[in-house]
Structure 1
Amino acid sequence: MNRTDRLHALTEELRRAGPRGRTAHRLAAWLEVSTRTVKRDVSALQQAGVPVWASAGPGGGYVLDAAATLPPVTLTPAQAVAVAVALAGAPDAPFAADGRVALEKVLDVLGGEARAEVERLGSRVWVRGRPGGRRDPASVVEDALARRRVVAISYRDRAGTPSRRRVEPHLLAHDGGSWYLLGWCRERGAPRWFRRDRIEAADLTTETAPERDPAAYGRPPPDAHAVRSPR
């Protein structure tokens, strides 16, 4: 990690730490540098106007002033490529199209040198595309989940039997190599799993999906987890 990336990482770690701060020893271990390097980096941040101050007493460390404004979101070249790899490797994942747009927004504000490094590093990572691509019904289902709307779907079950359902979307889950919509089926009056690639058409309704007790959908497996979890 070069010094510029280290200073950025140091600032963001202090921001995440909040008023608790971080000791020089902990920061040094996290960054894999000496405490002397951490102190020099903190001094450089302070000289650049970043509001970092030292807390006194046992266990004291460095704290980023809570009044500091949150800077624009920036990524290092390696972080940008990591996001691009994740998106390219799962083109049918929920909200993947939105992810690609978000990544382009971040890349647009990178400096010329950083953008060039993203292009250089990204050209050394290849992903072979899969036949087909995302189907339109998938984006409608995602929109229904995001906006908490009832969605009307045309569905074909494992036996090939077609049906038309009105579903209150609850969550999207990945299991056994496939994506599923878990929701409350109005026709069955019960929770159901719908494999996303069997949803042949979807129409967003104007009806708000009511909040239901999560217990009605059962407990997730012990090895399942949300894509956004605490550090």
Structure 2
Amino acid sequence: MKRTERLHALSEMLRRSGRRGVSAERLAREFEVSVRTVKRDLDALENSGAAVWSRPGPGGGYGLAEGATLPPVTLSPSQAVALMASASAASDAPYADLAAAGIRKIMDVLDPKTRAQADELAQRIWVNALPASSRVTRSALEEAMAEQRVVRIRYTSQKGTRTTRDVEPVLFASTSGRWYLVGWCRLRSAMRWFAVSRIEKASVTKIACSGHTVDEVGEPPKNARPVHDARVSGQS
């Protein structure tokens, strides 16, 4: 987990702890870092403006001031479960970890009755998600896409040929139940689709992308659309 993601998750854990607070030792175990690192992260949160409080001595710990909590979110039980189901079913999707963290954030501020109804309804939905690719690999691909930097990948083709390539990421695409990284392959000097499940290793370089656009990819697969398009398929 990158530090920015850990800081966000840390603030959420502090907020959920309420007035009880949480010890630095427990935070260190939760995020698999040292107590010293946790305290540095807490200082960073406080310096960024977060209302972090501390209580010394036995039973003490850290938390967020009540004024720092989020207001209630108006959401029906079905809408809440729809979010949970979507994130669970798409655990291999780009930025899935951040989506799950966001959903937990929403669930935490639901009123108790709605939360209880959502939890009960969620028991009636089972998900058998496909195994996700390496978290380290996906994190590198996500970072390269967000920052538009060249990513170096070790890739095994469908025929079993293994190559190392520098790719300028252009978009992520899901078709036929599989996620792809679509980008300009510097080895082939062409736009290529790489199945994320066949990317064995990925590392972000310091090289900026040269500006290839989504339009260069061509027509999207049948029924595909950008995720910002809120229209529901088949709805007039």
- Answer whether TM exceeds 0.5 for this pair: yes
The answer for unaligned runs of 5 or more in structure 2 is 1-70, 232-236
Contact kept, 8 Å, 2:179 with 2:196, in 1: the verdict is yes
The runs of 4+ residues in structure 1 deviating greater than 6 Å are none
Contact kept, 8 Å, 1:165 with 1:186, in 2: the verdict is yes
**Deviations, residues 122-173 of structure 1 (Å, cap 9, x unaligned):** 122222354x434221222122112212111010111111111111000111
- Residue 206 (structure 1) aligns with: 206
- 1:96-111 aligned at under 5 Å gives the runs 96-111=96-111
- Residue 133 (structure 1) aligns with: 132
Provide the aligned C-alpha RMSD in A. Answer: 2.0
Task: Say whether residues 1:171 and 2:171 are aligned partners.
Answer: yes
Tell me by how many angstroms 1:221 deviates: 4.0
Task: State the distance in 2 between where 1:207 and 1:201 align.
Answer: 18
Shift of the 184–103 alpha-carbon distance from structure 1 to 2, 3 Å rule, reads same
Contact kept, 8 Å, 2:144 with 2:169, in 1: the verdict is yes
Task: State the distance in 1 between where 2:73 and 2:170 align.
Answer: 30
- Residue 160 (structure 1) aligns with: 160
1:141 alignment partner, SS class = helix
Count of residue pairs brought into register by the alignment: 160
Task: State the distance in 2 between where 1:144 and 1:199 align.
Answer: 14
The answer for unaligned runs of 5 or more in structure 1 is 1-70
Task: State the distance in 1 between where 2:173 and 2:97 align.
Answer: 17
Task: State the distance in 2 between where 1:213 and 1:186 align.
Answer: 15
- Residue 194 (structure 2) aligns with: 194
Tell me by how many angstroms 1:207 deviates: 2.1
Tell me by how many angstroms 1:228 deviates: 1.8
Q: Which is higher, the Rg of structure 1 or of structure 2?
A: 1
- Structure 1 length-normalised TM: 0.63
Tell me by how many angstroms 1:219 deviates: 2.5
Task: Say whether residues 1:113 and 2:142 are aligned partners.
Answer: no
1:211 alignment partner, SS class = coil
- Structure 2 length-normalised TM: 0.62
- 1:36-185 aligned at under 5 Å gives the runs 73-130=73-130, 132-136=131-135, 137-185=137-185
Between stretches 109-118 and 184-193, larger displacement belongs to 109-118
